[in-house]
Amino acid sequence: MHALAARLRRIASTLGAAPHPAVDGWKSPAARRVKSTLDGAAGAADRIAGDLAACAARLDRAADRVAAEQAAERRKDREGRP
């Protein structure tokens, strides 16, 4: 789970670092539609990057909980407790 979380963080970092296209000089109606589409895609990339980073954090916490539970079970087994 930690490895998957690290991979998600790398993907989120790549998405978050993507430059937003600068096309402010475009004036035609078609250019405005393209600019709107590009702006929307850049915004979506930022939102998805945040979602992926949050997911990675949840995976890390879950992995830590699983590891702690497994360690507790191993201790119980060594001590012969049910």
Q: Which of 47, 51, 58, 67 is nearest to 4 (CA)?
A: 58
What mean pLDDT is reported for the chain? Answer: 91
Q: What are phi and psi of 15, to 5 degrees?
A: -65, -45
At residue 36, the pLDDT reads 87
Yes or no: say if 18 and 46 are a contact pair by the CB < 8 Å rule. no
Cα–Cα distance between 25 and 38 in angstroms, integer?
A: 14
At residue 70, the pLDDT reads 95
Indicate if the alpha-carbon torsion angle 46, 50, 55, 56 is positive or negative.
Answer: positive
At residue 73, the pLDDT reads 92
pLDDT tens digits for range 38-60: 889 989 999 999 999 999 999 99
Ranges of the chain with pLDDT below 70: 82
* Length of the chain as a residue count: 82
